[in-house]
Structure formats: structure tokens, C-alpha cells
Amino acid sequence: MKHRFAMAGATCVLLLPWAIQAGDWPQWRGPNRDGVAQETGLLKAWPKEGPPLRWVYANAGMGYSGPAVVGDRLILMGAREGAEVVLALELTPRASAKTVQELWSTKIGPVFTWKGNDWNAGPSATPTVDGELLYALGGQGQLLCVETATGKERWRKDLPTDLGAEVNPVGGGPPKLGWGFTWSPLVDGDRLICVPGGPQGTLAALDKKTGQVLWRSKELTDLASYSSPIVIEVGGVRQYVQLTNEGVSGVAAKDGTLLWRYLKKPAYGDVVIPTPIFHEGLVYVTAGYGAGCDLIKLTPAGSKFKAEKVYANKVMSNQQGGVVLAGEHLYGYSEGKGWICQNFKIGTMVWSEKRALGRGSITVADGQLYCYSEDDGIMVLADASPAGWKQRGRFEIPQHSQVRKTNGKIWTHPVIAGGRLYLRDQELLFCYDLKGPASSSGQ
């Protein structure tokens, strides 16, 4: 069986009574779903042992779900004691920051796995926090809305049963489930955007307070992939962009009408996981297993949009570690090339680094790259610069998971919020201080 795994993320946030702050990380890939933290004043270089380790939480359970952090709450999902759960940790500053308190946990549903699965078990999506409510998606398609403060369930949907949801099974896993539901829900205004996939519509908009279905993308019926949707505006038209095995598409936010499609030829022949990137009217997508990358220009054309190829090449072929845009350059791990810098608008490779660090995931903050190796849990700090790979620090997580599946890797992306770096390896969640001794009295 070939290696694969799917990750996805979450969305918009604002915790009542806690107002959203610039340093919060409310959803998958951060405030804007682009892997960029809105942080400044972080350490520009680390001591030999790395930044200070604030605490370790060892009961996160199995899964690749990343945390959402808003104010003094950290929301995470994991599988423990035979069930997938969503849970909240309290990050209130204390005299001793060596421990962290779990405030509540709520059951999502049965653990996602199957006979012969040696890769993943448990949830892989990132929770989405939106004020007093948050949204959690389990591996089998259980979608929950719960109260942020208490964990009390408000509503739930069984996506396969209630919405006829189907995941593209390419690459392995059970029929209609594949490697599980791993995209992260997107909150946009009063709507919760989901990716059930299947003949009723790839995308669905739900009333975020009640779970009522508002529309399905009836003209777009691709099976769900492992990629999460993003929201963009082009020519004053708000729309949701989704990557599937057939290609990438945009639907109208108001009613799910198909606005444009860019078909991948040939179609992606394996799992597609990375989240699209949008910048200045251009949509960038990439996938692994030799699929490469594409840049698409969107131009209004009456009530629709023209999707025109700018370039398609194999400079970036990213499996699940993600790609970030810093300035006018993209950074991430590309199959066979190592960590690379790619010119966003013309697609050329600027530099590559194969020896410094193995394949992994990436986040950018305060002008620097945070690269997390999937094999050995090494975290590297490097400049986000087209001038070349310049390392400013590295360390290895102090312990590794004892429950991770045999063929599983460290696939949870780094999260940076409130001056802290959060790294996960299954049941283990590590919190590091990125602002140094001056902030040692914080969470």
C-alpha cells in the first residue's frame, strides 16, 4: 500500500466574551487560511537547545488534527478511549506554566480507522472557532457545532447520511470514505461551508447556527478530496474555491452557482491535500505524487469567470506539508527537490535545499519559516527570503508518540499564536515560547 494521508483545516473565529486578537489562530492554516501567522516581535534566532518549552500536554489522543487558538482557549481533536473527541485547554497565565488544564471534551463519534490501516486513526481536520460556537469534523463525517465555553452540543450532521457525502477513494481506504473526512469547515458570515462531495453537490452551505442546508453546488459534483475550501473575492464577487481530483473550481458564495472550473489534464491520479492559495486575482494549487503545481488567472466574463492557465510545472509537488506565500515567493517541500523557494507569478525555482531537513510541514510568521520534519520531529527556523536557505535555529521535540500508526508520520502542521509555537505528535502537544524570557510569565 502506498503512503498517504489527508489533512485539512478549519476556519473563522471570535470567542465570546473574548474578542479575537491579531495573534490568534482560529482555524486551519491561521486567520486567513494561508499558513501565515499575524505575529511580530518573535525571536529571530534560537539558542542551541531551541526556544523555551513551556508545557507538554500528553492526552491529546490519536489524530493529525491541529489546534485552533483564540484568547485563553486552545481547541483540539483526538481519538481516545474508543471515540473521537473535541476538547478545550485553558491557556490562562499561571505562576507555573508547566501544566495546562483541560476544561471540557465532547464526543464526536466512533474512531475513524479500518482493518489493515497502518497510517492514521482519529480526526485530521482542524476545529473552527467562531465566537461562542465552534465546529468540529470527525473522520467518519460527523460534523458538530458546540459551545466554545462549555463544549455543549448545539447541533450535528452525519454527512454521509444527511448530505449523501462521498470522499474520493483514490489511493486507498473504504469506499465513499477513503482516508476519511479531513477538510476543515469554513465560516463565512452566517454560513458554514462544507465539502461533503458527491452527486448532490461537492460544496454545501449550512446555516451556522442551526445546521440547516442553505444550498448545494449542484453544477459541481466532484467527490470530496482532502483539501479545505477558501473564500476569495474577484471583481466584487465573493466565492469559495475548492480543489478536487478533477481540478480546482469556484462557486458563488450567495447560492453555490458554478462560476469557473480549471480541469487538471490528466486529472490528479492520487490524493490531493494542500489548500489553494489566492493572491491578486491568481489561484495557486499543488499536489503530490508527481502532480506538480498550477497558477490560474481569474477574469470576470459576464456572470461567470474565465480561468486561464498562467503556468503548470513540476517545480512544486507538495504532498501534505502545505505551501506558504511570503511576499512574492512560495515556500514548501517539493518531492525530489527538498525545501524550495518558487517565484509565485512566473513559477520558476529560485532555490532548493535538500540536505538541511527532511520532508515536512510549514508555517510562516514575522518574516521567517517554521519547518517541521515529518520523520524525526525536528523544527527549523529559517529566513523567508529568496536569497537562499538561511537557518536561524533548530531543535527536536523532546519525546515522540508511542501510539502513532506504524506507517504514520508527524503530519500536523505547526501553529503559531499569542507568541507561542504549538507542535503535535499524536497524543503529545508541545508549547514553546517564541518571544523569549521577557514573556515567561505568560501562558
Q: Is the peptide bond before 17 cis (omega within 30 degrees of 0)?
A: yes
In-domain check, residue 29: no
As a dihedral over the C-alpha atoms of residue 232, residue 214, residue 177, residue 145, rounded to 10 degrees, the angle is: 90
What domain count does the chain have? 1
DSSP for 61-76, written as a single string: -BS-PPPEEETTEEEE
What are the residue ranges of helices labelled H in 244-341? none
Distance CA 33, CA 217 (A): 22
Phi and psi angles of residue 246, each rounded to the nearest 5 degrees, phi first = -80, -25
Instruction: Look at residue 392 in the predicted model and tell me its pLDDT.
Output: 98
pLDDT at 20: 57
CA distance 167 to 170: 9
Cα(379)–Cα(359) distance, integer angstroms: 11
Dist. CA 164–CA 196, nearest whole Å: 7
* Domain presence at residue 22: no
The pLDDT, as a whole number, for residue 406 is 93
> How far out from the chain centre does Cα 345 lie?
23
81 inside domain? yes
Domain that holds residue 67: 36-439
21 located within any domain: no
The pLDDT of residue 223:
98
Give the pLDDT confidence score for residue 436 in this predicted structure: 73
Torsion, Cα of 22, 123, 59, 154 (10° steps): 70
> What nine digits make up the cell of 286?
499543488
Sheet holding 329-334, edge to edge: 323-326, 329-334, 338-343, 349-353
Spell out the residues 6+ positions from residue 412 whose beta carbon is closer than 8 angstroms to its own. Answer: 7, 64, 65, 66, 361, 423, 424, 425
Q: Provide the CATH number for the domain around residue 215.
A: 2.130.10.10
Half-sphere exposure for 39 (CA within 13 Å, toward CB): 29
Nearest alpha carbon to residue 76 among 59, 93, 92: 59
Which residues contact residue 207 at a Cβ distance below 8 angstroms, ignoring those fewer than 6 apart? 190, 191, 192, 214
Q: Tell me the whole-structure pTM to 2 decimals.
A: 0.94
N residues, the chain: 443
Q: Are 120 and 64 in contact (CB under 8 A)?
A: yes
Strands (E) located in 133-218: 133-137, 142-147, 153-158, 186-188, 191-194, 204-207, 213-216
Is residue 353 domain-resident?
A: yes
Cα–Cα dist 153/149, whole Å: 11
* Tens digit of each residue's pLDDT, the chain (443 residues): 334 434 433 333 333 344 557 789 999 999 999 999 999 999 999 999 999 999 999 999 999 999 999 999 999 999 999 999 999 999 976 534 567 899 999 999 999 998 889 999 999 999 999 999 999 999 999 999 999 999 999 999 999 999 999 999 998 899 999 999 999 999 999 999 999 999 999 999 999 999 999 999 999 999 999 999 999 999 999 999 999 999 999 999 999 999 999 999 999 999 999 999 999 999 999 999 999 999 999 999 999 999 999 999 999 999 999 999 999 999 999 999 999 999 999 999 999 999 999 999 999 999 999 999 999 999 999 999 999 999 999 999 999 999 999 999 999 999 999 999 999 999 999 999 999 764 443 34
Whether 243 is covered by a domain: the verdict is: yes
Check: CB of residue 199 under 8 Å from CB of residue 216: no
Q: What is the per-residue pLDDT for 422?
A: 98
- Phi, psi (rounded to 5 degrees) for 439: -110, 20
Nearest in space to 400 (alpha carbons), one of 375, 420, 434: 375
In a domain, 368, yes or no: yes
